[in-house]
A and B are shown apart, each in its own frame.
Chain A
Amino acid sequence: MDISEEKRNRDSAVNYDSVDNPAVDWQVSSSNPVSAPIDSYTQENLISACPSSCSPSQMMDSFGQTLWYDPTSVQAVGYGGFSVQNNGGNASSSSFRGNVDRSLEMGWNLPNLLPPKGNGLFLPNASSFLPPSMAQFPADSGFIERAARFSLFSGGNFSDMVNQPLGNPEAIGLFLQGGGTMQGQCQSNELNVGELHNDASTVVKEPNVRSSEQLKPNVPGSGNVSEDTQSSGGNGQKGGETSSKGFDTRKRKRNGQNSEAAQSHRSQQSEEEPDSNGDKKRNNEQSPNSPGKKTNSGKQQGKQSSDPPKDGYIHVRARRGQATNSHSLAERVRREKISERMKFLQDLVPGCNKVTGKAVMLDEIINYVQSLQRQVEFLSMKLATVNPQMDFNLEGLLAKDALQLRAGSSSTTPFPPNMSMAYPPLPHGFMQQTLSSIGRTISSPLSPTNGGFKRQDTNGWEGDLQNVIHINYGAGEVTPDPQAAATASLPAANMKVEP
């Protein structure tokens, strides 16, 4: 296919040697297990890692996964020779589309992607591990798609762009390559592709134009006209806003609505710009995305809400065809978060797989919680009736007996000096054994201290059980002191153990 060939050519043409580390990292990262199903949230998770802090490999992985266009033809997304072969061509178009949808919703943690001002393009500032453009790649399928489109149509002009000073061309190149791969998979992008082509060509002709401008065509793709504060730098440039806009909407949760308003304002500004690119971008965005607030993408994973350690931004991309008002964006993000959690709950509550819909799910969850609470109540009632004296001290005493028996059978085992409540995972059967033995002892007559109380099942007890018994023992004998019980039972037990 032409596209793939072009991509390959571009791969060779693109020179990312300037960035040594990233290439290495990427190649290393290619071996990372990217086999996680695309439908899972791995990509978002990878992406969510702060670009500045996350390893390029992570981003590459997720990016590569989505970039996977043609297992055989695509050599690499041109990231410094990084070959997107890790997937082995597993990325199916469907999954890819799924990614795309998701990416549309995803908040990209690209703090570096659009530096506050002036940079215009995705300069990751000081990220040394990646070429600036790479660092800013959200490794988002939507992003990739956009890049793909861009690259797809920049065609031969790409080399010109490549030669551009650091950052912009690389970014664009990356986009291009990524876009190329994605292009093949996203049929929905065809429309965009055509439009992108125009954009790309125009952009290419003006290599000196700010990178933001160049990126603009990349951005559209399936991306949404998203608000972006970063684009302020590119304001002067035509479409500079749009490119940044396409990337990412920074939501400063700290500032709450102020920044949102600013963002929306700026995005509106950029939208209004008489920018053919922007228009095309918007047009492009319409086709791939399902119109309206989309629940399916929302369901999958609209937004990556983990905040990068550096800043608390939650990057949100406005979906195509939807209001880009800051409030509605936030609403959408919130809704997606909620739906994601509902899905998680669905797995938890038994028998909720067929149920769909928030209200019904909610009812099911409420019923389940209520039933669990009723169960607790019922069991506590049962416990109260079973043990009329409520003398659970017997357990401690029993423990002592058991301990003695055990000590008698074997040499005194040194008890760990400090026993905390948090034990290493005890064997599963331990619980049953303990309780059964406790139960048996309680029900049968026993002398509080050394009785000739032969218990056969003590053999089944394990060393850890002693610890537990100690605690109970301590709690029963000593004045109730939660902390002391945990640690102080040892000496008392020791005394008893040694005849």
Chain B
Amino acid sequence: MASSDKTINTDVPEKDVFAIHFLQSLSNLTTQNPFNSPDTTNYRARKIKKAAYVSMAKAAGGSSRLWSRALLGRAAKENNKIVRFARRKRKVTWKISSKRRSDQRAPEATDRLRNLVPGGGTMETSKLMEETAHYIKCLSMQVKVMQCLVDGLSPK
């Protein structure tokens, strides 16, 4: 399920990669907090969700995407681990220069999108669009994987 545009590259790994990562993170989950955690469904659900996001970020190309880096950084912070990725050299972008011009930006339509996509707060709008596209692809892939898993695990 890889697609590539001439100018925008939003290749996404195959479903299996996502599956592998997800299963691995799930098995990690069970060994993490064996006893000292409330065994409520909500708690488990949250854990699974976090694992899903982290595995998705890893599967979708670890540090080569801004959103995945932001996701992994956020998750690491929650676990009190610090993960640092090599920062790619950034050219002076118009966004940055425009920020200097005006501190206040009129509420933009893209603000909501920024809130949704991890790491979208400081991206340039065009970059945000790219990341959104890749993020959407990865999300849909992850949803498929999870659906398969649920189908497999649910009692027949």
Contact = CB atoms under 8 A, between A and B. Distances in A.
Nearest to A350: B140
Nearest to B53: A376
Interface residues of B, number: 68
Given A338-B125, A421-B20, A434-B19, A369 B135 contact: yes
A344 B5 contact: yes
Interface stretch (A81-89, A162-170, A201-209, A381-389): A381-389
Interface centre among A362, A423, A431 (most CB of B within 10 A): A431
B38 interface: no
A382 B145 CA distance: 13
Nearest to B21: A421
B14 A426 contact: yes
Contacts of A359: 109
Contact of B6 (A41, A342, A369, A442): A41
A386 B148 contact: no
Interface string A176-193: 000000000000000000
Contacts of A369: 113, 116-117, 132, 135-136, 139
Contacts of B130: 341
A305 B94 CA distance: 14
Interface string A344-368: 1100110000000011001001101
B6 A330 contact: no
Interface in A258-317: 304-306, 312
A451 interface: no
Interface in A46-83: 48
A492 interface: no
A372 B24 contact: no
B154 A386 contact: yes
A373 B92 contact: no
Contact of B129 (A330, A341, A383): A341
B12 to A, nearest CB: 11
A428 B16 CA distance: 8
B64 interface: no
- The B interface, classified by DSSP as helix, strand, loop or mixed, is helix
B102 interface: no
Interface string B113-151: 100110000000110011011011101101101111111
Given A386-B153, A392-B27, A341 B126 contact: yes
B105 interface: no
Contacts of B92: 253-254, 256
A376 B31 contact: no
A345 B5 CA distance: 11
A471 B92 CA distance: 43
A370 B146 contact: no
Given A306-B7, A366-B112, A383-B153, 17 more contacts: A254-B92, A304-B7, A338-B125, A369-B132, A369-B135, A381-B41, A381-B42, A384-B44, A390-B30, A421-B20, A425-B14, A438-B153, A443-B155, A468-B19, A472-B24, A476-B27, A479-B31
28 contacts: A48-B7, A253-B92, A312-B91, A331-B94, A341-B130, A344-B10, A345-B132, A362-B110, A365-B113, A365-B132, A369-B135, A373-B116, A380-B45, A381-B45, A383-B48, A383-B153, A384-B42, A384-B47, A390-B44, A422-B13, A423-B16, A431-B15, A434-B19, A436-B151, A439-B156, A442-B153, A475-B27, A476-B30
Interface of A: 40-42, 44-45, 48, 253-254, 256-257, 304-306, 312, 330-331, 334, 337-338, 340-342, 344-345, 348-349, 358-359, 362, 365-366, 368-370, 372-373, 375-377, 379-388, 390-393, 395-396, 421-423, 425-426, 428, 430-432, 434-440, 442-443, 468, 471-472, 475-476, 479-480, 482, 485
* Closest 4 pairs (CB-CB, A-B): A435-B152, A341-B129, A439-B152, A384-B44
